[in-house]
A and B are shown apart, each in its own frame.
Chain A
Amino acid sequence: MSRKPVKNSLWADSWKQLRKNHAAIAGLIILIILITASALAPLLTPYSFEQQNLELGAVKPSLHHWLGTDTLGRDLFTRLLYGGRTSFLVGICATAVSLLIGVPYGAVSGYAGGKVDSVMMRIVDILYTMPFTILVIILMVVFGRNILLMFGAIGAIQWLVMARIIRGQVMALRKQAFVEAAIAIGASHPRIIFKHIIPNVLGIIIVYTTLTIPHVMLMETFLSFLGLGIQPPMSSWGLLIKDGASVMETYPWLLISPAIVFSVTLFSMNFLGDGLRDALDPRFSKGKF
């Protein structure tokens, strides 16, 4: 790095580096478009996501139905937009659950150190080896396909990774002078953790949040694809791919557009996540992964 010693905040620096990464910026733009379109779904389409038209049946993409209609005559473009709502909502909410558990847990474990740390991390290790995907499937079967339950269950798996990463970061920060200074002036432990340490790991939190969201969305789609997640008439990308796959022989367009939209979303999120990691996480040098 042979940059002039201009005083730049971490954020300005990172933004500069991120802007140079075309793939990440493209991903960001695509995501903004997709999320906005999903959020504004009722304004963008004259149809409702559950409005059936059995006489019409499945028709090819046309001017009236941009992406065609499914076997029940529902407009696919509309269902894709509403499916995006579900998928993004699950992705964001479940990730929020994982942040709410994982960040404080990892921060406390890393800050406390010693015996407390080893017990807390042992618990994470043990939980990590449990067959959680299977447990989530059973949970969905047993307690009905409840969308709130899904947020909780998926978030409860993802916090483990978050806790581990935050703990590592906090352990390194704990020995820094500014933490010692805070202890010296008599700040309480919770205050030090939440006011002094967590703001310093915010970059890492952002990076792993962007990398967790696609994982969660994948999980939701996986469950919905198996018929164990979101239930019709609600729409979700997993459900659309499932429905499309079941009739692909006769109506291939019902499979192709949801498959493309979902893959493009995952692409964008992964590129954005990788770009953010290069820009914000100094442990990963550019281009290594």
Chain B
Amino acid sequence: MLELIPVLLISITIVFFMVRLAPGGPFTSEKSFPAEAIERLNQHYGLDKPILVQYGNYLLNLLKGDLGPSFQYPSRTVNDIIKETFPVSLELGALAMLFALSIGLLAGIVASLKPNTLQDHMPMGLAMTGICMPSFVLGPLLILVFGLWLGWFNASGWELPSDRVLPVITLGAAYAAYISRLTRGSMLEILPADYIRTARAKGLSEATVIFKHTLKNALLPVVSYLGPATAGILTGSFVVETIFNIPGMGRMFVLAAFNRDYTLILGLVVFFSLLVVVFNAVVDILLGLLNPKLRMHA
């Protein structure tokens, strides 16, 4: 857990110096600004001070939880923007994860029960398709077919409950595919084990054998995968929120990147890194709960 602090600090430092030392400031694009105005803006935001002083100030404010003002949206602070956009991204990400887990586990279990039959090849073929169709291919195609041609869903937006369907599928599909492959693999490894034969021999129902005895142990690789999957869903949200025009943090980050809104970029990076770090810690705890062996070694 403790190595997370240097990771965070290194990320912040790299990003801070990268955006500050880059040619072109946040106000250079506005050509209509007179030179004095730019100077005053720089003064106002402390951009005229030596860079190390700026860095120190940023870290101090960060400790207080203050991410500073946004350059592009002068009336709002970075904290405000995160407060507004994070719930949207959280909902999208959580729904996508739920989708990925339910479909992935189900498909993996179904496939593993009759390996190398149609019941196996169908879901696994579909999973391969899911992996080979990145979100920026799947999303526009889903909009084209279900939004524009069939007219079942809105092509973009985030108002109606039905607006959630296409973005959630787009974001979750690849992870559902990976999870189904992981589940199938580990189920196949555990199903021939002696203790599963014992469970069957003592007359337990097939459902109990599969869900209680096999799945619980087969779940380990899936849980370990949740860490990287969360990070992936986070970056995936950049694309999905842009495609579907969802007012979340991912789209905000892409906009901030285009606008060279330094403080907003930095603030979002800090927040993203924190999220990933916290979630990885949660996954570690979950793994410990599922697998007593890991607890012993830790």
Contacts and interface: CB of A to CB of B under 8 A. Distances in A.
Contacts of A241: 136-137, 140
Contact of A138 (B4, B148, B155, B269): B269
B287 interface: no
Interface of B: 3-4, 6-7, 10-11, 14-15, 18-19, 22, 115-116, 128-129, 131-134, 136-137, 139-141, 143-144, 148, 155, 181, 185, 188-189, 231, 235, 238-239, 242-243, 253-254, 257-258, 260, 265, 269, 272-273, 276-277, 280
A131 B254 CA distance: 15
Contact of B185 (A143, A226, A266, A289): A289
Given A142-B22, A238-B136, A226 B239 contact: yes
A126 interface: yes
A199 interface: no
A228 B136 CA distance: 14
Contacts of B3: 122, 125-126
Contact of A133 (B116, B181, B235): B235
B11 A130 contact: yes
Majority secondary structure of chain B interface residues (helix, strand, loop or mixed): helix
5 contacts: A134-B272, A142-B22, A222-B136, A248-B144, A259-B141
Nearest to B277: A129
Interface in A166-193: none
Contacts of A238: 136
Given A129-B276, A267-B128, A288-B188, A142 B19 contact: yes
Contacts of B18: 135, 138-139, 142
A132 to B, nearest CB: 9
A97 interface: no
Contacts, number: 115
Given A221-B136, A225-B136, A245-B140, A141 B11 contact: no
A124 interface: no
Interface of A: 122, 125-126, 129-131, 133-135, 137-139, 141-143, 218, 221-222, 225-228, 238, 241-242, 244-245, 248-249, 252, 255-256, 259, 262-263, 266-267, 270-271, 287-289
Contacts of B131: 266, 270
A138 to B, nearest CB: 6
Contact of A135 (B11, B116, B189, B242): B11
B132 A226 contact: no
A287 to B, nearest CB: 7
* Most B CB within 10 A of own CB, among A135, A138, A256: A138
Nearest to B4: A129
Nearest to A260: B137
A262 B243 CA distance: 18
Contacts of A242: 136
Contacts of B238: 137, 226
Contacts of A252: 144
A246 to B, nearest CB: 9
Given A130-B11, A221-B134, A245 B243 contact: yes
B192 to A, nearest CB: 13
* Most B CB within 10 A of own CB, among A122, A226, A227, A228: A226
B143 A248 contact: yes
A244 B140 contact: yes
Contacts of B277: 129
* Most A CB within 10 A of own CB, among B140, B253, B265: B140
The 10 A-B residue pairs whose C-beta atoms are closest, nearest first, are A245-B140, A142-B22, A266-B132, A225-B136, A133-B235, A267-B132, A141-B257, A259-B137, A248-B144, A129-B7
Given A129-B7, A129-B277, A141-B260, A226 B269 contact: no
Given A129-B280, A242-B136, 6 more contacts: A131-B272, A134-B269, A245-B143, A248-B143, A248-B148, A266-B131
B29 to A, nearest CB: 13
A248 B128 CA distance: 25
A138 B19 contact: yes
A242 B189 CA distance: 42
Contacts of B272: 131, 134
B11 A131 contact: yes
Given A130-B11, A133-B235, A225-B239, A138 B140 contact: no
A289 B136 CA distance: 25
Contacts of A271: 128
* Most B CB within 10 A of own CB, among A134, A218, A266: A134
Nearest to A143: B22
Contacts of A288: 185, 188-189
A130 B137 CA distance: 26
Contact of A248 (B140, B189, B257): B140
